[in-house]
Amino acid sequence: GSKAATIIDHATLTHIPFQRDLREAISTAAGVIPDLLGYPQTAVITGGSERDAIYITDSLLLPDPLASGSVPRVNYDLAHEIEVETTGHPAEVPSTEAGYINIVTRSGGPGVRGELLLHHTNANLIGGLDTPQDLADQNMSLPASRSYLWDTSLSLYGTLYGDLLRFYTNVRYATEKRNTTFSPWTDPLGVEHSDYESKYSAKSAFFRMTGNYSQQFKFIGTASYAHRRSPLYSDYSSSRLPEETTALFAPTKDLLLTGWLNYAMNQKTFVDIKASYVISDSELRLNEAGADKASYIDEATGYSWGSGAANNLQDVNRFMGSATLVHFNDRVLGGNQIFKLGVDYD
């Protein structure tokens, strides 16, 4: 049967007020449910496991170091178009029981151009409809909201050596502070816990080069780096979780390298070589204020205090590569054939 897919085009990505996060844009497609409480960030698509989805950028598989399925750390400003294919995958799509998400990145245009974007908001520009007294009367906490957000992105793109090479490069820095839903509370041991805010910072860099050296050679090369630091799940902090019990992301670093080379031996035969390499270094550490304490849970009220669960340190990498020889035969044995011979390494 025909495939079912949602196209999120560049105009939508530019003009719809998303939170400049690919996860949110992808979650607008029919059949996609985001997993907001997990990390790495994932999504459930048409009932499949959150690890079943396949993410592709410019026809190259984005390898999660531990498993497939996590929303890739591609800068929002790099996406030109996103195709979210939910069912009816054609034969050329890699095997998946859930979604196939193809992220097409931006490429350079004629000449050399630049683009500077600055996004800002603060508590004076946003707010809820309920007053603090309304929420108190309903025994509810204040919703999490931004105290401020600064998000700066600089892009340079264009062509070199006539039209032989096209490049796109981007650097981005964002910082924000949010209030949490926690209300001041005194635990059964008599220790007072104040409300608190969460701070987040992230910086990233991206470089992409495409080339048509001749009619025979074509290539794409990309390098992407991301660095972030934030309280864990800062957007979804529990109203029953004091600051000492939270965990923090120490600087989390990701490096992604991808490459694609196509060599046409003649009009009917070509060689395709693809490779991806990712390094991910993350440190999820307990809050120092509670790390040396015991862990407490009040089953009656749902409050937890003291130490969180455990430190979680990961330093992982993954390499994926493939080489394919393709040959087209016309009008042989009563029809046309395509012969493929290839190897994959993971």
Q: What is the DSSP annotation of 167-194?
A: EEEEEEEEEEEEE-S---EE-TTS-EE-
Are 231 and 246 within 8 A, CB to CB?
yes
CA 77 to chain centre: 12
Distance of alpha carbon 310 from alpha carbon 327, whole angstroms: 54
Distance of alpha carbon 32 from alpha carbon 43, whole angstroms: 7
Instruction: Sheet with 145-160: list strands edge to edge.
Output: 112-122, 145-160, 165-179, 197-212, 217-231, 247-264, 269-286, 312-332, 335-345
Query: Which amino acid belongs to residue 97?
Result: E
* Side-chain-side CA neighbours of residue 45 (13 Å): 29
User: Per DSSP, which regions of 36-87 are E strands?
Assistant: 42-45, 54-57, 60-61, 79-87
User: Per DSSP, which regions of 46-144 are E strands?
Assistant: 54-57, 60-61, 79-87, 100-105, 112-122
Distance of alpha carbon 302 from alpha carbon 202, whole angstroms: 32
Q: Which two tokens stand for residue 135?
A: 């929420």
Task: Enumerate the β-bridge partners of residue 138.
Answer: none
Helix (H) or strand (E) holding 12: helix 10-15
Q: What is the pLDDT along the chain (346 residues), one digit of tens a residue?
A: 577 888 999 888 888 877 787 878 888 888 887 765 545 556 777 766 666 777 887 767 766 655 554 555 677 888 889 888 887 776 666 667 678 888 888 776 678 899 999 989 888 887 667 776 777 677 666 677 788 999 999 999 998 887 788 899 999 999 988 888 887 888 988 999 988 888 888 899 999 898 887 778 999 898 989 888 876 644 445 778 888 888 877 777 888 898 999 999 998 899 999 998 888 887 878 888 888 899 998 888 888 899 887 788 888 888 989 999 999 887 767 778 888 899 999 8
